[in-house]
Each structure stands twice: as structure tokens, then as C-alpha cells.
Structure 1
Amino acid sequence: MIMPELTEQASSEESLPETGMIGASDLFPVSTTANEESDRPLVIALYSSVGSGHRSAAASTAEAFARLRGNHPLVPEDADIELLDILDFGYMKFDGEKTTTLFTGPTRYIYDITWHYVLTGRLLWGGGSIWSYFMYSAFTRYVAKRKPIAIVSTHIVAANAAVAARMITKLDFPVVCVPTDYGVEGLWPHRFSDLFCVADELMKEELYPRKVKPEDIKVTGIPVKPSFNQEYDRTAVLEKYGLPVDKKIVLVIAGARLRQPYVLFRELMDEIIEDLAAFDDMHFVFLTGSDEEYADQVRKHCSDCGVPNVSVYNYVEKIAELMNAADLAIAKSGGLAVTECLCSRLPLIIVGRSFGQEDANTTTVTRAGAAYQVLTSPELLEKLREIQKDPAMLDRMIEGGAELRKPDSARNVALATLEKVGNTAPIKNRFFWLYWGKKPLRTR
């Protein structure tokens, strides 16, 4: 059954209208543009558009702050909540899509080495105002004008720019770092951040040797929208998408906002599309994100080869309900994809070798028993046959993910951030600061 592109009107929960506002509803608006003219209290959720996960985590966090408007003494009813891309403030404009080729293209092996070994041993990065002078002085000027309540950053570039802005302006607001993976790379501004919100307990142990104080680390989980933890009527959801209710639904997460991170994953999946017809008790749903060309390619491939148990959708706005109704996901090991599967209680098969931060993600979920990893297309087919013979494997994966599952993560981050307001120590303006840490947790 080859389904046409889903044409349902975009929901207000996930969409980005031309108004520059997003939110769960009109009650929780979040601005996606910097408003220099406003004098209202401001919270900034700051990301870098390198890959899709950093933006998704920042958007979930921004929405959590928006839900606190008028319900928390530090977030008044008229507060501005802004979701901003730090790359928009740079002297030079970087294409986030092209930048992702560093960890998906031929240089991914070099990237893997740098992620694991650069400033992750004894010599560590503390932070510095160099990030503002070198590239992001426009953001520093914006911070000086708006005087935010807090800045929450989901990417190293965003976090370092926020720390630099605070150093130069000498304003008193917390800078909160939210790694969107299950490992902490070396370029976070460790000594000048006020709080690290991390995915699990092991990441706390990773930060201790870097001399981050225990009180400045909270295990909140990676921020996702609360919709991923809601209960849905499975039959109603599957009927809405035209999917069979009497088969196991397997989501193939082959795209998001950007195309480049999924190139290698798609190559592997393309090798076995014809073989999926043999799994007559499963129905495969390819999610191709904003890449309509790839969606059409998969549809044509299935049509030409007579594969009846595949549906293809482009960008699905209410992805949480579809993940909740599904029985299994096949994906690469991005931090947000892994976390959304965990919160949706959706078993996961990770496909392909993992590099850099995705290696940390894979290790975490496979060690917990929440996912399996396969490196090749024959291995993927074999794993699907194992699940076909022993469906209880799916239940065991759900149980394995229980300890990692933190469905209130975005709210946890927002509340932990607000606890730091008024409780930050002044920091000196250092151009850059390298320092000596203790023996690292992970042997690199």
C-alpha cells in the first residue's frame, strides 16, 4: 500500500508559520525572531542550525517556558520567549545543512576523532569572550539591549556565544547548557556556565572530572515536547494516517528538516526496500522529512518493485502520535530521535556505524537494552526476522528504556534554569581559558 503524501493542515503544535511564532497553541506563543524594540522580560532558547536536534530541543524548552507564563514568579504573563539561531548573528553566515557534511561525509572519521579527543582529557575548555569578538558581537549587543532573564543553549556554539555575551555585558543572568546527546563533548564552556542539564547519570560523572560542581548539574533528560508522553488511541491514529491496524507498524525515520544527516542512512535502507515485502505482518512507514525528492524516489522504487507494505510521508507535524502508535522504529542514532523513541516507548533499531556524539547515544541505549544496533543492511533484515519470530523482544526493549525515559524533560530544564536566576556568581571577562582537569571518566 503506497500512501500519498500526507496533506493534512499543519498543527500549531510543531509548525513554523510565517508570523514567526510557534507554540503548542495560541496560549503558548514563542517568537522565532529577535525583537530589539521590546522592553518586556525575555528568556532566550538558543541553538545552532547544524542538524535538526539542537533546534528541536531548544523549541521544546522554549515552549516549556511559554507554558510557565503567569504561572511562575520569574516568568510574567507578558514575557517574551524567543527561539533563536546563533548562526543568524554571525559575521559570516554558515549553512547548517552543508556543515553537517563534516560528520556525515568523507570527513566523518576525522570528526569522530575530534569529538572524542579534543579537550576531553586533562586539558579542558573553560570558555571565553573570544566567541563574541571573533564572530558573534551582534548577539552580545542584542543581549546588552534586552537583558534576558536567562539563556538556555542546546549547542556548543550557542553556549559559548552566550557566555561571551555575559562576560562582556557584565549582566547577571544564568547561562544553561543542554547537551542534546548522551555524552559531553569538550567545547562546552565548562567553567563559566551556571548549569548543565544532562540526559542521564553517567553524564554527571563525565562532568565531575572537568571540575563542574555537583550543584551545577541536573539530570533533566534531553528536552522533548510533552506530546511524546501522551496516551493516544492507536486504532484512531493509524486510521487517520491510512495505516493497517492489524500489523506491526515500523517507522523508518529517514529525514527531518535537513537532508544531509540522513544520506548514509538512506543509502543503507535503499538496499533492502525490495526485501521488506517479505515481512507480511509488518508495515513500514518511511518518514522523509522536508525532502520531497527522496519521498518520490522511495514511492517509485516501491511501485516499480511491487512492495505493498510501505507508506511514505513527508514532514509529519504530529509525529508524537504516530510514534506512540507504532511498534518499532528504524533510525540513525541522533540524540533527539533516540530520546523521542524512549519517551514514546518505541523500541529502536539503530542503523549504521555511529560517529562522534552519536556513538555515545548508541552506547547508552544499547547498553540499557532499549535498542539494537546493526551495521549493514543484511544485519537489519536478520534483526527484523528475529523480531518477527520473537515479538517479545519489543517488550524487552521498552522495559530496557524505562530508566532513561524522562518525559518531563523540557519542563525540568525550564524549572532548573529559573532556580539559577539570582543565584549566579559574577564572572571575569577572559578572552579564553584553558584549564587542567582530573582523570576523565571515559577512556578515549
Structure 2
Amino acid sequence: MRLLIISASAGHGHVRAAQALEAYACEMYLEAEIRNVDILDYTAAIYRKAYAASYLKLADRAPELWGYLYNKGDRPSAKKRQAAIIRAFDRIEFAKFRAMLREFNPDHVICSHFLPAQILWPYEGKDWVTFSLNLCVTDYLSHGFWAQPNATRIFANSGEGVEELIDKGIERERVRQVGIPIMPDFGRGYDKEAICAELNLDPQLPTIMVMSGGWGAAGLPTLVASLLEFAPVQVIAIAGRNERMKRDVTKLPVPEGAKLTVYGYVNNIHELMAVSDLCVTKSGGLTTAECMAMGLPMLIPNPIPGQEERNAEYVTENGCALIARSPGSLKYKVKKFLSDPAMRSKMQESARNRGRPKAAETILRTIVSE
């Protein structure tokens, strides 16, 4: 069996979902030939840079504009316009991608971004298009661009997401409600005290994990400082690859009774989630899926309009998260969360119930067996 996994590096979530599918596939199908590619690697540098950077820059610098474009793009007319644009670029920009497909000749194609399906739509029925084409939506609701008529299956992540695809013309029998693919690490049990001992953390303190991005690079030190005011508390701050941000947070004064641990880029995010009681984070599809798989409640500051705002609404409606749209609101909700054990327990249970740690495994078994 030859399995081709395709992502597009337009936002980190699509790539992470593809990596999760690859990790599970390598465990499950030892004799299979598995290839994981970024479709943008087969395009010219200028196209790749423009496509990949468009969302990241707009979401960071003009979130309201991004939200407007996202909602406008959910209309059928917008989907037709984008398909026309893609076809105009297709012959030149995606010739290498098509050549790779013909050479690899996969039995199954799994896409964590809708772009490959858009590219392949005009070639449906060609003698080299003999594979099943499967799309994995990477948010909790289903934007119109995921409703690709040439897809064999589309894996959605909520009942509402399923109905959105059906409303956009996809037959019900081609839609599955499964969950967002996440790495195997998020589906395992962990010993909190052992992890705390290894990482020099205090297992007795209420622990808040803060992932960079919620308030932007400049706001992370302010956010962490406000959380340290809730001593006794332990704050784990993750600055990612931003060394300046890491230094600024590390320099913060720590009140008596509080503990601050600062990380840059980490590979053990699952362990940090396992020892945390609350995660302050953006509401990307992969991050919210990982938190729920770990039974970890979320507090989402200022969700970006568009898919992240819709994800935030989904996890909030299902009792897994709180939304804070101002620093004052964030302080109020953290205080309430820390002071109300029943609330914490209920949110943890809701997150565990909604979590789908084995989604990637289910997706692969469905594709291979049907």
C-alpha cells in the first residue's frame, strides 16, 4: 500500500495534522510506503511565500480584515472564484506536484489542507487519478473551501461541521465525524508527580500554562505578570522560538508563593499539558484538540476573527473553555476558575468527553478498510 499525506504550510496546524497522520500510519502499517509532503514545496518560491504568509500576516496585523475575508470566502460564489484562480495557476505552478503524484502512484491520498483537492478537481476521471482522495478538516466547523466535490471522504470534527458540509452540497455518506488528527503522545496517560519531579515543577500548586500568541509577543510578559498575582500559583510560560520574549518573561518579578517556569520551543508540550490545570492559548484547531484530548480546560484571550473565533465558540459552548476579551475579563475568569473546584472538575470532564486522541487512527482505519 502506498499512502500519500499532503499538507500546506499555510498555518502550522495543517502541517501538524499531517505529521500526526504520518506518525500513526508508520505505527499501524509497517509494510506500507508512506510519504508526507507539503504541496507548496512543489511551487515557485514567490507563490509559496505569498500563499503561506497571507493568513499569518493578516491574522497578526489585521485580524478584523482576516475575519471579513474568511466569512466572505465561506460563500459559494467565493469558492467558484478561488477555483478559477487556482486553475489559472495550475498548469505552471502545480506541474511538479502532478508529476510527483503520477510517479508515486498512491492508493490513498489524505489531505490536511483543501488546496490539493482544488488542484485535482479538474483531473477527476483521468487515468492517473486512481486513488481515494480524503480531506481532514483542521477546525471544528467546516468552511466552504473544505466542501470539495471530488473528495472520496471528508472527515469533519463536530456535528455542526458535518451539517455545514452537507448544506454546501456534499453527500452525507461521504462525510464522517471523527476529530482532528493529533500526535500519539496526546492519547497516553502520564504520571503528574513524576513529570513535575523531572521538570522541577511543584505538583501541589495550581498550574496555569501560557502559550505565546494570545496577546501577541509584546503582551506575553504583561499576561504572565497578571497570572502570577494569583499566588499561590505556578505559571508555565512557553515563548516558542522568540528568544527576546523568553528573556522578557524570565526577568519578571515573582511574588512570594508563586513559581514561574519559562520555556522557549519545546517538544514535550504533552507533558506540560499533563501537569497543568488551565491552558491560556489561542484557539487553533490543533491546539484545542490537544487540550481536550488531555482533559485540559482552556482560557482563550481575544480569539482571532475567522476560524479561531469559531473554534473558541465551539469549545466554549461545549464547556471546555472560557473566552476573555480584555485583561480585566481574563483576571476575573482566572480567579473564578482557581477558586471554584466544581467548575474546574466540570470543565476537565467536558474536555475529556469531547477529546478525540485517537482521531488519526480512526481516519486511517476508515480509509484503508472501506
What TM-score comes out, normalization by structure 1 length?
0.76
2-structure distance, mates of 1:165, 1:142: 15
1-structure distance, mates of 2:122, 2:294: 37
How far off its partner does 1:369 sit? Answer: 1.0
Alignment match, 2:329:
379
Query: Is residue 296 of structure 1 aligned with residue 247 of structure 2?
Result: yes
In structure 2, the CA distance between the partners of 1:202 and 1:383, relative to structure 1 (3 Å rule), is: same
What TM-score comes out, normalization by structure 2 length?
0.90
2-structure distance, mates of 1:167, 1:290: 45
Query: Is residue 63 of structure 1 aligned with residue 63 of structure 2?
Result: no
How far off its partner does 1:205 sit? Answer: 0.6
Query: Is residue 88 of structure 1 aligned with residue 47 of structure 2?
Result: no
**Unmatched 5+ stretches in structure 1:** 1-40, 71-76, 255-261, 421-444
Alignment match, 1:391:
341
1-structure distance, mates of 2:176, 2:72: 25
After TM superposition, the runs of 4+ consecutive aligned structure 1 residues lying more than 6 A away are: 304-307
Alignment match, 2:73:
118
In structure 2, the CA distance between the partners of 1:270 and 1:146, relative to structure 1 (3 Å rule), is: same
Alignment match, 1:233:
191
Q: Cα RMSD over matched residues?
A: 2.5
How far off its partner does 1:264 sit? Answer: 4.0
Deviations 1:198-256 (A, max 9, x none): 111111111111121111111110001222121111000111111111101111011xx
2-structure distance, mates of 1:403, 1:200: 13
Secondary structure in structure 1 of the residue aligned to 2:145: coil
Secondary structure in structure 2 of the residue aligned to 1:82: strand
Q: Which moved more, 1:334-343 or 1:49-58?
A: 49-58
Secondary structure in structure 2 of the residue aligned to 1:366: helix
Secondary structure in structure 2 of the residue aligned to 1:271: helix
How far off its partner does 1:281 sit? Answer: 2.3
1:137 corresponds to which letter in structure 2?
A: A
Deviations 1:33-73 (A, max 9, x none): xxxxxxxx531211111221111111001112112224xxx
Query: Is residue 272 of structure 1 aligned with residue 227 of structure 2?
Result: no
2-structure distance, mates of 1:339, 1:242: 27
2:53 corresponds to which letter in structure 1?
A: K
1:230 corresponds to which letter in structure 2?
A: R
1-structure distance, mates of 2:225, 2:300: 20
Alignment match, 1:412:
362
2-structure distance, mates of 1:201, 1:134: 39
2-structure distance, mates of 1:171, 1:382: 55
Query: Is residue 243 of structure 1 aligned with residue 217 of structure 2?
Result: no
1:91 corresponds to which letter in structure 2?
A: A
How far off its partner does 1:399 sit? Answer: 2.5
State the number of aligned residues: 365
Secondary structure in structure 1 of the residue aligned to 2:21: helix
How far off its partner does 1:304 sit? Answer: 9.0
Secondary structure in structure 1 of the residue aligned to 2:102: helix
Match of 1:136 among 94, 98, 111: 94
Secondary structure in structure 2 of the residue aligned to 1:349: strand
1-structure distance, mates of 2:128, 2:338: 60
Query: Is residue 149 of structure 1 aligned with residue 100 of structure 2?
Result: no
How far off its partner does 1:135 sit? Answer: 2.1
Alignment match, 2:130:
172
Structure (1 or 2) with the greater helix fraction:
2
Query: Is residue 184 of structure 1 aligned with residue 124 of structure 2?
Result: no
Secondary structure in structure 2 of the residue aligned to 1:393: helix
**Unmatched 5+ stretches in structure 2:** none
